[in-house]
Amino acid sequence: MTVNRLLPTDEAHALIELTRDICDKVMDPIVDEYEKQEKYPADVFAQLGAAGLLSLPYPEEWGGGDQPYEVYLQVLEEIAARWAAVGVAVSVHSLACYPMFAFGTPEQRERFLPEMLGGQTVGAYSLSEPQAGSDAAALVCRASRVDDGYRITGEKSWITHGGIANYYNLFARTGDGSKGISCFLVPDGVDGLSFGRPEEKMGLTAVPTTTARYDDVHLPEERRIGAEGQGLQIAFSALDSGRLGIAAVATGIAQAALDEAVAYAKERETFGRKIIDHQGLGFLLADMAAAVESARATYLDAARRRDAGLPYSRNASVAKLIATDAAMKVTTDAVQVLGGNGYTRDFRPERLMREAKITQIFEGTNQIQRLVISRSLA
């Protein structure tokens, strides 16, 4: 089903149309093969970049698309409905541009942002470590001060775009405790930086997720973003925006699963009628539709608060929680609607269900979202 979107401007409608066109022509024909072969779709990113779709929520003066977050997220939802791995990677790229945009000095922005937002490069966000996922403050990768900057040693894990990105937002320890973490912009190809082989994941197989090893990597002072010790604050404020991206991706996955289920239910017959006409199944589809629309409404509410300059951190956690739990339920139910066929790789819900699962885990597990929400209530 083509989602009939409420959008604020004609320009936004044009962007959605442009996105759908790229999805039809560039992504749909190759998604199955690339996911199967675990092949990175560099051409897809090149085309999204050339169309200006990799930097939509950032100001025009730095090369961005100047779009409200509510528009960017709906574009992201459209992309993710066709190819979740690409949607996630676009969201992570946008997340990786945020620290420089929000915390860089005017000189740093002038120097780095045009290339980061120019559409020809992609970024990565490197917070997690083997022993520090939910508990990000437990990270140990160390950035030691030297005369002309820092020397970095340690291990990072779970880097979306690892080994592919042109730059990495690195969070490393410059002191003790949660106020002893700093943020750095690491260019690809620096001496001493290496990557593990891609993780063998349940889904999102076309975009690599890797470990990274920093072996006495030298970074000049100008590559530190924000003040020394401000890293965790930067990381968390970037994640408020990033979580909305994941909520939009999850909504796209759920919408795709609903569409597959409805199309199948209108064709398949049992007991002399279409299965959609059995009330038991029709009600299942109705609940799926309600979950998708609730997910969309929840992320849009948070995005509109962000666009209005209002606090939105709790709303972002609510949106991530609601949309990703909806995606898991709706994709699982879509498999159910397809019966035995749903359990095979010949039909799309099988992949959508595998893709939905990760949205409940990364950028803060849904237990962590509940923690954020409950703390905001206390």
Q: What x/- string results for residues 289 through 328 when contact with ligand FAD is judged by CB under 6 A?
A: ----------------------------------------
Closest distance of CB 276 from ligand FAD, Å: 34
Residues in the interface with ligand FAD (CB under 6 A) total 22
Q: Which of residues 43-102 bind ligand FAD (CB under 6 A)?
A: 92
Nearer to ligand FAD, 104 or 133 (CB): 133
Nearer to ligand FAD, 67 or 360 (CB): 360
Nearer to ligand FAD, 30 or 361 (CB): 361
Of 20, 142, 151, 201, the residue at the interface with ligand FAD (CB under 6 A) is 201
Q: Does 184 bind ligand FAD (CB under 6 A)?
A: no
The answer to whether 208 and 198 have CB atoms below 8 angstroms apart is yes
Q: Does 168 bind ligand FAD (CB under 6 A)?
A: no
Phi-psi category of residue 189: left, alpha or beta, with phi > 0 → left and psi -120 to 50 → alpha: left
What secondary structure, in 3-state letters, does 68-136 show? CHHHHHHHHHHHHHHCHHHHHHHHHHHHHHHHHHHHCCHHHHHHHHHHHCCCCCCEEEECCECCECCCH
Q: Which of 78, 129, 355, 363 is catalytic?
A: 363
Q: Answer positive or negative: Cα dihedral of 178, 179, 181, 185.
A: positive
Of 55, 209, 211, 313, the residue at the interface with ligand FAD (CB under 6 A) is 209
Strands 123-126 and 167-173: parallel
Angstrom distance (rounded) from CA 324 to CA 327: 5
Closest distance of CB 373 from ligand FAD, Å: 12
Closest distance of CB 259 from ligand FAD, Å: 24
DSSP characters over 196-263 = -PPP--SS-TTS-EEEEEEEEEEEEGGGEESSTT-HHHHHHHHHHHHHHHHHHHHHHHHHHHHHHHHH
Q: Which of residues 148-167 bind ligand FAD (CB under 6 A)?
A: 158-160
Closest distance of CB 151 from ligand FAD, Å: 21
Closest distance of CB 201 from ligand FAD, Å: 5
**193 CA to centre of own chain:** 24
Active site residue 350: no
Q: Which of residues 105-134 bind ligand FAD (CB under 6 A)?
A: 125-128, 133-134
Contacts with 293 (C-beta within 8 Å, 6 or more apart), sequence order: none
Segment near ligand FAD (CB under 6 A); pick from 59-67, 259-267, 302-310, 354-362: 354-362
Angstrom distance (rounded) from CA 247 to CA 235: 18
Q: Which of the residues are catalytic?
A: 363
Contact residues toward ligand FAD (CB under 6 A) are 92, 125-128, 133-134, 158-160, 201, 204, 209, 358, 361-365, 367-368, 371
